[in-house]
Amino acid sequence: MWPKLVLNKVLRKSLSSSNIVADLPDSREILPEFHSSDASTMKACNQQTCKIFVSSWNVGGIVPPEDMDIEYWLDTKKYPADIYVFGFQEIVPLSAGNVLGSENSKISRKWNAIISRTLNKSSSRARPDDSSTVGSQSKEHFRCIVSKQMVGIFISVWIRSNLCEFVSHPSVSFVGCGIMGCLGNKGSVSVRFLLRETSFCFVCSHLASGGREGDERNRNSDAIEILLRTTFPHGPSRNLPRKILDHDRVIWLGDLNYRIHLPDTMTRSLVEKRKWDLLLEKDQLKAELMEGHVFQGWQEGVIKFEPTYKYCLNSESYYGGNPNAKVKKSRAPAWCDRIIWFGEGLKQSLYDRGESTLSDHRPVRAIFTAETEVYRVLQKSDVSNDEGLIDTRTTFRRVLE
């Protein structure tokens, strides 16, 4: 029975792998692709920047209420951005029916509605104040360019509307690492797109759980599988990046599930005393970042906030912290929810957590300034004159006209 169910699920996944939900029509072929033969007629101009808001939250299978307010979390007035990336884990309970059955998109649509309502209510009064930020029009709204769910893992990418014409080749790739090493109760959903000529990749993942010694190796194995198996289309001219690390700007977010390698009582004592530095010395992900077993070359911002897991529901108390309360299984506090990045061209200006008590996890967020490249092409009559440089989009529009 199990092999048949697994086979059916895998086949359904492979057949639907190119399906993405977005409200940006015909976005796959917006920008022309350049070939190596064009290099002699191209020149890179000064770089532009954009602000990116990235958030990850394991919502524990809890349906958001109708009046869910995330405006405090986005805080668009204080931290306006051009691109918003929302990653969720366990948007549905990880039951056998949800893992093996058809995708339930009702909850993901509900989250998208909440995101849209919040962003577009705020966008008319909030803009990045950096004069070098791409785009200068006022009262812009936000549009979803990619939205994809795999069981409980869900990623949704929103972009300021005046940037939409500069976005091309949005694509998704998902990897199941859960039951039998292939189902989607654990794994990743990754998104790729180009903003002008710069490629971006966002990996939203839920890695293997477990607080026992040695369980971190299962998380390492999941991360390796995600890096190996995530593949994007190479594009009509076969020159688009296919693997995660081939992209110019890469951000990994999610419930990575790495724990603190200390006894439960010591961990709780240090958390109570807010000794973050001592705890982080025994943090499993920090060890991986330093030792390079999996995340070699990856970076993470400084953590100055409380561990994000595990809380009692609708409470500010950590689960198992009350010695008089009966708990099924004690789980020591840990920074399970993380945001890391790879490569150059990204500068993080904020890394913190939220305080919503909706689930047993607290959400995390980060703000990045990303460099984007804009190529310009020389007109034949002005090949030797820098003043003859014109934007590639203008050039190709004229050709098409």
- In order along the chain (401 residues), what is the average pLDDT of each group of 10 residues? 48 47 47 42 71 98 93 94 98 80 85 96 58 47 96 97 95 91 89 96 96 91 96 87 97 98 95 97 93 90 97 92 64 96 96 96 98 72 44 38 34
Residue 35, pLDDT score: 38
Task: Indicate the residue type of 175.
Answer: V
Distance CA 241, CA 234 (A): 6
CA distances in angstroms from 101 to 12, 98, 132, 327, listed in the order given: 10, 5, 47, 31
Residue 230, pLDDT score: 97
Structure tokens given for 287? 């060890």
Residue 325, pLDDT score: 60
Residue 391, pLDDT score: 46
22 belongs to a structural domain: no
Please list the residues that pair with 149 across neighbouring strands: 154
CATH assignment at residue 189: 3.60.10.10
Helix (H, G, I), strand (E, B) or coil at 161: helix
Residue 49, pLDDT score: 95
Which residue range is the domain that position 189 belongs to?
A: 46-373
278 belongs to a structural domain: yes
Confirm if 168 and 77 have CB atoms less than 8 A apart. no
391 belongs to a structural domain: no
Confirm if 186 and 219 have CB atoms less than 8 A apart. no
396 belongs to a structural domain: no
Confirm if 336 and 361 have CB atoms less than 8 A apart. yes
Residue 293, pLDDT score: 82
Look up the pTM and report it.
0.84
Residue 377, pLDDT score: 61
Residue 28, pLDDT score: 42
302 belongs to a structural domain: yes
Please list the residues that pair with 172 across neighbouring strands: 191
34 belongs to a structural domain: no
380 belongs to a structural domain: no
Distance CA 316, CA 303 (A): 19
145 belongs to a structural domain: yes
Query: Residues near 68 by Cβ (< 8 Å), separated by ≥ 6?
Result: 114
Q: Structural domain tally of the chain? A: 1
